[in-house]
Amino acid sequence: MVTLKDIAKEAGVSVMTVSRVVNKRYSEVSDENIAKIQSIIEKLGYVPNSSARSLSSKSSKIISIILQGSGNVLESPYNATMLGYIIQLVQEYGYNAMVHFINEYSDVTKHLQSWNAEGALFLGTFDKNIQQIQADNKLPLVFTDSYSSVRQLINIGIDDYKGGVLAAKHFIENGHRDFAFITPHTSVNQLIKQRLKGFQDTIETANLNLYPEHILEPTNMEETATRLCSFKKPVSAIFVAADNSAIELMDRLKRRGYRIPEDFSIIGFDNLPISQYVTPRLATISQDIKQKAQFALEVLFQHLKKSILTNAEYRTGC
14 interacts with DNA by CB under 7 A: yes
Distance CA 64, CA 51 (A): 16
Among 4, 65, 98, 237, binds DNA (CB under 7 A): 4
Query: What is the smallest separation between the CB atom of 205 and DNA, expressed in angstroms?
Result: 58
By CB under 8 A, what part of segment 121-160 binds a copy of itself? 136
Is residue 137 within 8 A of residue 113, CB to CB? The reply is yes
317 interacts with a copy of itself by CB under 8 A: no
307 interacts with DNA by CB under 7 A: no
By CB under 7 A, what part of segment 26-55 binds DNA? 27-33, 46, 48-49, 52-53, 55
Closest to 245 in 3D by CA, of 264, 229, 276, 266: 266
What angle is formed at CA 99 by the lines to CA 188 and CA 241, rounded to 5 degrees?
Answer: 25
Mark residues 59-78: x for contact with DNA by CB under 7 A, - for none.
Answer: x-------------------
DSSP code at position 224: H
Burial track 182-196 (b if 16+ CB lie within 10 A, e otherwise): bbbebeebbbbbbbb
Closest to 182 in 3D by CA, of 233, 232, 256, 235: 235
120 binds, among a copy of itself, DNA, none (CB under 5 to 8 A by kind): none
Residue number, 6 or 201, with CB nearest to DNA: 6
CA 112 to chain centre: 18
How many chain residues are in contact with a copy of itself, going by CB under 8 A? 50
* Interface contacts to DNA, rule CB under 7 A: 1, 3-5, 13-17, 19-20, 22-23, 27-33, 46, 48-49, 52-53, 55-57, 59
